[in-house]
Amino acid sequence: MAPPEFVARATQGPTPAQGPARGAAPAVELPPPPRSVDPAAPHPALACDSADALMGLLARFPQAKQMPPLLWHGAIETGVWVLVDRPDGDPAHRHTIDRMMAAIDLDWTRAALVSRLPWPTPGDGEPTADNLARFTPVVERLAALAAPRHVLALGQCAAELAGSEARLVSSRGRWFSWGSAQLLPSIHPRTMAASKDLKQQAFTHLKLFREAIG
């Protein structure tokens, strides 16, 4: 199994593109919800009966006029997901995730990269509570429809879908239930930076994930 050089070598040239999620994603301004919307009303994602219907719903958002939604990339039907908080504005981070998958003999024909937010945040900043509240029902509905079995959550914002405890640093490498799936919190490449210790931790989590999916 490949060592954790997958991060150290991430600045090398990227592998060929595989879909629209590749490369630097421009920031898309996320407008506030209309004042007329009843906050107690059911989220429209709950009425979607397929993943395609969810994409059709997102296509009606104003942001879709600037760029397509990046809710997932790859094969969601496999039941193996890598979950992130948002599409990354830094292509090196995406390349690192590709290398992490290759280190455990996976690619996007055998797994899916799923994003809690379907568009990049302005300035590649941390997601706001309002935006998470708006789009989390979408990814939760996708999980209900596509039924992942194993989820590798990269970063605290992704991991907290399994509960507040799952986002704790001390919870990295521990399994949590998220619906019918088992979710393993790990470390996003943007957090690893130059830390050899975090890279080694992430590689340990990858091996745990690979062992679980078989």
Q: What pLDDT was estimated at residue 194? A: 81
Q: Is 84 left (phi over 0), alpha (psi -120 to 50) or beta?
A: beta
Q: Is 126 left (phi over 0), alpha (psi -120 to 50) or beta?
A: beta
For residue 186, list its beta bridge partners: 154
| CATH of segment(s) 70-213 | 3.40.470.10
Alpha-carbon distance of 57 to 63, in angstroms, equals 12
Alpha-carbon distance of 198 to 203, in angstroms, equals 9
Whether 63 and 57 have beta carbons less than 8 Å apart is answered as no
Alpha-carbon distance of 167 to 163, in angstroms, equals 7
- Please list, in sequence order, all residues whose beta carbon lies within 8 angstroms of the beta carbon of residue 29, skipping any fewer than 6 positions away: 63, 122
Task: Please write the tens of the pLDDT for every residue from 5-62.
Answer: 554 444 444 333 333 444 445 555 554 444 444 566 899 999 999 999 999 999 999 9
Q: What pLDDT was estimated at residue 193? A: 82
Q: Which residue has better confidence, 79 or 18?
A: 79
Residue range 74-88: mean pLDDT, rounded: 96
Task: Please write the tens of the pLDDT for every residue from 177-213.
Answer: 999 999 999 999 999 988 999 999 999 999 999 999 9
Q: What pLDDT was estimated at residue 24? A: 47
Q: What pLDDT was estimated at residue 129? A: 93
Q: What pLDDT was estimated at residue 20? A: 40
